[in-house]
Amino acid sequence: MTRITVIGAGFGALTAIRKLRAADRALGIDVIAPKPELVYYPSTIWIPTGLRTPEDVVVDLKPFFERQGVTYHPASVTGLKDGGRVVLTDAGEVANDGLIIASGGRFLKKLPGIEHAITPCEGVEAAVRIRDRLAGMEGGTIAFGFAGNPKEPAAMRGGPIFEFMFGIDQHLRKRGDRDRFKLVFFTPAPKPGNRLGPKAVEGLMREMKRRDIETHLGHKLKGFEADKVTTEGGEFAADLIVFMPGMTGNAWFDNTDLPRSDGGLLQANASCQVTGQDKVYVAGDSGSFPGPDWLPKQAHMADLQAEAAVANLLGEFQGKAPSHTFKAELICIVDTRTSGILVKRTETRNVILPSTPVFHWAKRAFEWWYLRQYR
């Protein structure tokens, strides 16, 4: 029996599992992840303001794994050997005939004092910390910011910061004490949200101005203190810091011979094959892929890359050369808790539709539609 190992339990990994099983009911599929659960990160933006609870956004995958007939290995990957044919874990070795790596990325935590900032996309626990800190505040300054990986421009995830910021602003207004708070948005980028497109930058800046959110843009970050953000352009007080650093590859990549990009991700070609490797593919945040400079790190992109990886890997078992590629497409709803801005970008078009409650409810409807296949 042909056996394929999938590393991870996030968006790209689960799409790979579904596509593999749909293509071949007899295929042996091994899944390696520390926990059998999916964290639906797009909805963690609503945890700090009480629109969602941790239980709402964490899906137990054991029933899904059983339906798909996969063998789940509760373990953390530590490395590879034999050209990727054996995955090393803290619970033993898992052999394979083909490998799909979808284990996500790792946030860069090199800035001095970064322990004083909360990185919201690190997990549900981080969103809960923001919720609890916010609930205990009667006023003060809340700083929201993001940065990138200087060696890997695509390895960044700034969009959720706008959503946390707009959602908390809306929550404070509903709470009736927004006037007691100062909200400040900061980033080294002079044009925040530029990856969403020029129109999106203009729209986001207008939205911040309308909500009386101050900005501190275009200055390299120097570090954080418990009550302060420091940049090369000055410093400002902050009682709560919500910050998304740039991303790099998983630590276990260092214990492999896999090729890496300058930013530490796995170097992939347009077919999602790890460059120069035999039947080793990558999808999502773990990989560095060819494409436009705005190529997003988001769930939708991970799904598209996983589909291409599965098609090419299965084709290789049939003696076919990899030929499937993925579409470079950014699509998201920047949510404000009661409304949303729709942004779509491809290599030929960039569309932004203004804020409306319809898009907020569309985001919630998509959450239900997407998660139903895994519940």
pLDDT digits (tens, 9 = 90+) for 294-303: 999 999 999 9
What whole-number distance in Å separates Cα of residue 107 and Cα of residue 113? 15
**What are the phi and psi torsion angles at 35 (to 5°)?**
-135, 145
Secondary structure percentages of the chain, helix, strand, coil, to 5: 35, 30, 35
User: Is 350 domain-assigned?
Assistant: no
Q: In this structure, are 242 and 254 located in the same domain?
A: no
Q: In this structure, are 267 and 284 located in the same domain?
A: yes
What pLDDT does residue 358 have? 98
Q: Coil, helix or strand for 35?
A: coil
Q: Using 50, 70 and 90 to split pLDDT, how confident is the model at 157?
A: confident
Share of the chain above pLDDT 90, in %: 91
Domain boundary among 317, 335, 351: 317
Q: In this structure, are 258 and 302 located in the same domain?
A: yes
Domain count, the chain: 2
Residue-wise pLDDT tens digits, 252-277: 999 999 999 999 999 999 999 999 99
The pair of structure tokens assigned to 157 is 């995830």
User: Is 336 domain-assigned?
Assistant: no
What whole-number distance in Å separates Cα of residue 242 and Cα of residue 325? 36
Beta strands in 238-320 (DSSP E): 240-244, 247-248, 266-267, 280-282, 287-288
Residue-wise pLDDT tens digits, 43-52: 999 999 999 9
User: From the CA atom positions of the chain, what is the Rg in Å?
Assistant: 21
Q: What average pLDDT does the segment 329-340 reach?
A: 95
User: Is 15 domain-assigned?
Assistant: yes
Q: In this structure, are 117 and 239 located in the same domain?
A: yes
Q: Which residue has the tokens 């968006």?
A: 11
What whole-number distance in Å separates Cα of residue 21 and Cα of residue 35? 21
User: Is 129 domain-assigned?
Assistant: yes
Q: What average pLDDT does the segment 16-22 reach?
A: 98
What pLDDT does residue 200 have? 83
Q: What average pLDDT does the segment 357-361 reach?
A: 98
Q: In this structure, are 91 and 23 located in the same domain?
A: yes
User: Which residues lie closer than 8 Å to 122 by C-beta, 6 or more apart?
Assistant: 107
Domain boundary among 246, 278, 302: 246
Share of the chain above pLDDT 70, in %: 100
Per the CB < 8 A criterion, the answer to whether 181 and 141 are in contact is yes
Question: Which residue range is the domain that position 305 belongs to?
Answer: 3-105+249-317
Q: In this structure, are 120 and 233 located in the same domain?
A: yes
Domain boundary among 246, 263, 282: 246
Q: In this structure, are 115 and 218 located in the same domain?
A: yes
Q: Using 50, 70 and 90 to split pLDDT, how confident is the model at 4?
A: very high
Q: Using 50, 70 and 90 to split pLDDT, how confident is the model at 315?
A: very high
Residue 190 has pLDDT above 90, yes or no: no
**199 CB burial (10 A radius; 0-12, 13-18, 19+):** middle
Mean pLDDT of the chain: 96
Q: CATH no. for residue 43?
A: 3.50.50.60
Residue 194 has pLDDT above 90, yes or no: no
Residue-wise pLDDT tens digits, 88-128: 999 999 999 999 999 999 999 999 999 999 999 999 999 99
Q: In this structure, are 219 and 124 located in the same domain?
A: yes
Residue 208 has pLDDT above 90, yes or no: yes
What pLDDT does residue 323 have? 96
pTM: 0.95
